[in-house]
A and B are shown apart, each in its own frame.
Chain A
């Protein structure tokens, strides 16, 4: 199967700082999503982004499909951004999504 690696595994930020999270994948993908899992365990859709760039408020994401990576940018971080960020990819039209192991983000006031 496809390998999905996320970095860094852990990140601690001061409130107001910016950060970049990375997702590398080992094969061509049809779909890619970024999720935020909040401290209560809920998975929240951030971006559906198989290619290109999208922005939503303080968050933006870029996927360079030909180079097999995606980046999630968080600007002016807030304590509510804390949690685990996952990327998930679907490849080979197999209707199966593969998740990375996540980046655990802690934003301190």
Chain B
């Protein structure tokens, strides 16, 4: 049981490039989340999904896209990377919403846009 895994661990992009951050969980969790963490700050929610085929925006969705075709995978797409997207990106999952919605986090992807 690997929990939540993310790839890559590190990435450097040039302005205007695009990339996909991968997230997979093997806990059969319905809910998945993408957060970003800027230096010295807490995490902010980018997008979340309550099940396959269903996604919704969080606090800071601009510049990102997501899809959820399976329960296990929740990739985050960056189009036209900008320096403001330099951050550490965390994926998380939880079994369900409502009471008992305990989140489990992946190790993070450190992204630098130059």
Using a CB–CB cutoff of 8 Å, the interface residues on chain A facing chain B are 1, 4, 30-31, 33, 35, 41-43, 45, 48, 50, 86, 88, 90, 93, 95-102
Contact = CB atoms under 8 A, between A and B. Distances in A.
A4 B43 CA distance: 12
B90 interface: yes
A43 B106 CA distance: 8
Given A41-B88, A41-B108, A42-B108, A99 B42 contact: yes
**B interface bracket (residues with beta carbon within 8 Å of A):** 20 to 34
Contact of B42 (A30, A48, A86): A86
A99 B99 contact: no
B48 interface: yes
9 contacts: A41-B88, A48-B102, A50-B99, A86-B42, A95-B97, A96-B45, A97-B45, A99-B42, A101-B41
